Amino acid sequence: MTTTSAKHTFSYRARSQEGEVVTGTLSGTSPEEIAAMLRGDGLLVTAVQTASHAMPDFDAEEIRRGVAARRVRREDVAVFCQQLGVMLDTGVPLPEALESCRLQGRRKEFSDLVGEIHHDVCGGTPLSSSLARWPRIFTPIVVSLVRASEASGTMALMLTRLGEYLVREEKTRKQVRGAATYPAIMFGSALLITMFMLVAVLPKFAAIYQQRGADLPPATRIMMAIGDGLRYGWMYWVPAVAAILVGVALWRRTRSGQKALDWAKLSTPVIGRLTITVYLARASRTMSTLLAGGVGLIDVIRICRGVTNNVVFDRLWDDMEHRVRDGRPMTGAATDCRWIPPSVASMMSSGERSAKLPEVMEKIATQCDDDLESGIKKATSMIEPVLIVGMGILVGAVAMALLLPIFKMSSVVTG
């Protein structure tokens, strides 16, 4: 006489090969059987438990990966791709290459990450699926290119090209960050110096003026009123400023707020031109790399939409996707877009007609990198004198407001 184990209903949480979270319920005799069924469907199992225990809304593994992602630098990913590509190109097996990358890692957080990828690959998981488990570290372009290279057998070449792409992307990001840092430091310094003079220096002069009974000029009275407001009215203006910042942050998350801010990024003088150049450089390089790697055109357009991350610019990608689905030339969308320079649109159209779009997009990216570098230098040279003059006027106005009574009524000060 044989006995069969009773079946139970189990709740599960897993990830698809694209990295998306999948949840549901299945009937089986044990959690191990459910996990085997899910793995047979190509899913990466993260949790299985009886349906009587509610599956938590949060994924502990996802939280852990999010914490780890904040500790991993973009440079680590670029170096990892380059090293892995070189070793695969020389004939080193993938598991051995991953183990070497883990041992050579200079940062413990990334070495542990590579160790988990090595464990997945040794267990039969494709490299692209293992990378997809870490979406905050390995972006969709990385996963898509690795998946395409797995199908075409060109992983070594693709990883090397991917490493070069990530290095150039990081260079562009640092250029933009450096261009924004200098004005922010200048503006912050001027604001702090002015507040210090109004809060710390002005009260001492005010005491002298009051003792002497001086008739203060209007400018000095205005500055003293502002200083008193900062010192004694902080319980009003601090919550007000905080409320404004929170309101702006919440408004920015709305569709209308995001659209308005994204439009301002593209339309503001000087800044708008630099923003468009950055978008073109990143999108062109991404499109070139993906097309050369054999990724489908629809997937390329969707990934490029995430690279620009601008609601207004999304119209370009929507138009491109519709044209591709309708069988029309994709680059016609660039010609109709007001944000794309005519020269860039013409180059894209020529590349599409000649079936050399990846090469043309790479040339556009190189040209945009050069334009961005020269544009940042020109913008900095224009903004620097404006900031210096503005800072001088602001600090000088406070200083003159403090010293005017002394210049005007020296007899009052000397008694």
Q: Look at residue 56 in the predicted model and tell me its pLDDT.
A: 46
Closest CA to 282 of 308, 305, 259, 257: 308
- Residues 6 or more apart in contact with residue 338 via CB below 8 angstroms: none
33 with 92, same domain: the answer is no
413 with 387, same domain: the answer is yes
Q: Look at residue 57 in the predicted model and tell me its pLDDT.
A: 44
Which pTM value belongs to this model?
Answer: 0.67
Q: Are 366 and 279 in contact (CB under 8 A)?
A: no
Is 115 among the domain residues? yes
Closest CA to 126 of 47, 17, 250: 17
235 with 317, same domain: the answer is yes
Q: Phi and psi (nearest 5°) for 137?
A: -105, -50
Is 177 among the domain residues? no
Is 164 among the domain residues? yes
- In the listed set 137, 168, 199, which residue is the last one of a domain according to the structure? 168
Is 379 among the domain residues? yes
Q: Look at residue 163 in the predicted model and tell me its pLDDT.
A: 87
Q: Look at residue 244 in the predicted model and tell me its pLDDT.
A: 93
Q: pLDDT tens digits for the chain (415 residues)?
A: 444 556 777 777 776 655 566 777 778 777 778 777 877 776 766 667 665 554 444 444 544 555 455 567 888 888 888 889 899 888 888 889 998 888 887 778 788 888 888 888 888 888 888 888 888 888 888 888 888 888 777 888 888 888 888 888 888 888 878 777 878 888 888 888 888 888 888 777 777 776 766 677 787 788 888 888 888 888 888 899 999 999 988 998 888 888 888 898 888 888 888 889 988 988 888 888 888 888 888 888 888 888 888 888 888 888 998 988 888 888 888 888 888 889 899 999 898 888 888 899 989 988 988 888 888 888 878 887 888 888 888 878 888 877 777 776 665 445 4
HSE at residue 280, side-chain half, CA atoms within 13 A, is 30
- In the listed set 41, 57, 73, which residue is the last one of a domain according to the structure? 57
Is 176 among the domain residues? no
Domain count, the chain: 3
Is 174 among the domain residues? no
70 with 48, same domain: the answer is no
Number of other residues whose CB lies within 10 A of the CB of residue 385 = 9
125-150 confidence digits (pLDDT tens) = 888 888 888 888 888 888 888 888 88
338-374 confidence digits (pLDDT tens) = 888 898 999 998 988 888 888 999 899 889 888 888 8
Q: Are 285 and 362 in contact (CB under 8 A)?
A: yes
The dihedral of CA 377, 382, 385, 390: what is its sign? negative
283-342 confidence digits (pLDDT tens) = 888 888 888 888 888 888 888 888 888 888 888 888 998 988 888 888 888 888 888 889
111 with 206, same domain: the answer is no
Q: What is the CATH number of the domain that holds 50?
A: 3.10.20
267 with 289, same domain: the answer is yes
Q: What is the CATH number of the domain that holds 119?
A: 1.20.81.30
- Per the structure, the complete domain to which residue 19 belongs is given by 8-57
Beta strand 21-28 with 44-50 is: unpaired
